[in-house]
Structure formats: C-alpha cells, structure tokens
Amino acid sequence: MIAAIVRRFAAVLLPLLAHACSGAPSTPPTDVGQLKGPDGAVYLLLDRGPYKAFYDPWGRLLRIEYDANGDGAPDQFAHHQGRKRPVRIEIDTDFDGRLDRWEHYDDEGRLHRIGATRRAGAPDTWVELDAAGAPLRREYDDDGDGRVERAELLEGEAVAAIALDTDRDGRFDRWQHRSGPLAGSEDLDTDGDGRPDRRLVKDARGRLLRVEALK
C-alpha cells in the first residue's frame, strides 16, 4: 500500500517539478496565487486539485502537498527546501490525520532513511538504507524523548550487533556482538566516557566465562 501511494505521488510530482524548474531560479511561477501561512509568511501557491505546490516569494519550491484519498486534507508532504528533488517526504499512510512515515532523501534523490512511529506522533523507529535500498541499521527511541536507546547493525537479514543506551543519557554504553569473531561477547562502558572499557566473554549458552579489560 505504501509503495503504491508513493508511486502515485511521484507520477504527478514530476510534472510539477518540471513546472517549478522551467523558469529562471529567481523568477516565481506566473500562474499562482498567494496564501498567508499560519506562521504569517506569504507563500505562492500553484493549485492542481489534489496537488498543491508552495513557493517562496523568489520562486523557490518549498513543498508539495497531496490529498491521496480526496477528503480535502493533504496526507503526503514533499519538502523541497528550494531544491528540485525532495529532501523529505512525510506520509499519513492510514489517513487518520496523523503522519506515520518519514522518508529522507540524499542529494541524488536516493532514499536513505525511513522513520515510523509506534505511538502516534513523532518518529520513534528508523531504518538506514544502503545505496541499493537494503537495510543497514535499525534504531529505536523507546521512551519517546527523541534520542535513540537501541541500535541494531544488520548483515543481510540478521542482526550482527546491538548498541544500547541503558542509562538514557544519550550515549551508548553496551555493545552486544552477534556474529563474527566476537560473537557471544558484550562490551561495556563503565566509566561513562562513551567508549567500551570492559568485555564480557560468554559461552554459547550465555554463561559468563571471563571479563577482559579493554583499556
């Protein structure tokens, strides 16, 4: 469903972008109206029914909004920040009036980070993607404070390592290894400097074998 929504969005996004980039960079589109935003700023508006493109007074494309289900409220927002390609797209995938998916794009237009929410509100889970679109890393904000408490490093579909912020101070203090030569071990930061200084070596059943100093 999400992929279909994004494809529909992109199908009409491209002609709008062609319109946005057709004139000189400092020349606003000519067939637009004006709209005063909630922030008090005046925007230029190109209205194409379910699609609305917002420009600043200098003709730079700021965002494109799309009403996918025709209920009169936009549920997809492409933020361009004056660029030809969007840098971020926000989507309400279930049409409940709340955003639940955040897509981040690099300068080449490649999707490299996806955010989602488990509690309705700001994103609290993220997936980092490689150039081919495969997941590299998953992050979780379990208490909703905007900071990551758990990060999983991925090798294919498997979790290779887990980093944890157990005291929720914004820095990881435990690193669990799941694959490679350190499989079955866990590194700890016991002095709070953000670097591991102890390693717990465990057997295949998770029983502690020894503690090694790393500094």
142-161 per-position pLDDT tens digit? 988 889 999 999 998 899 99
Give the phi and the psi of residue 9 in degrees, each rounded to 5: -60, -50
Instruction: Note the pTM of the prediction, 2 decimals.
Output: 0.78
| Statement: residue 134 has pLDDT above 50 | yes
How many other C-beta atoms are found inside a 10 Å radius of the C-beta of residue 130? 12
Q: What is the pLDDT of residue 88?
A: 97
Asked whether the CA dihedral 11, 16, 19, 24 is positive or negative, the reply is: negative
Q: Which amino acid is present at 161? A: A
38/20: higher pLDDT: 38
First-last CA distance in the chain: 51
pLDDT digits (tens, 9 = 90+) for 63-110: 999 999 999 999 999 999 999 899 999 999 999 999 999 999 999 999
Query: What are the boundaries of each domain within the chain?
Result: 2-213
Q: What is the pLDDT of residue 23?
A: 38
Q: Tell me which residue of 160, 197, 202 sits closest to 177, measured CA to CA.
A: 160
Residue 77 · residue 87 · CB < 8 Å: no
CATH tag, 2-213: 3.90.930
pLDDT digits (tens, 9 = 90+) for 32-64: 788 777 777 888 998 888 999 999 888 899 999
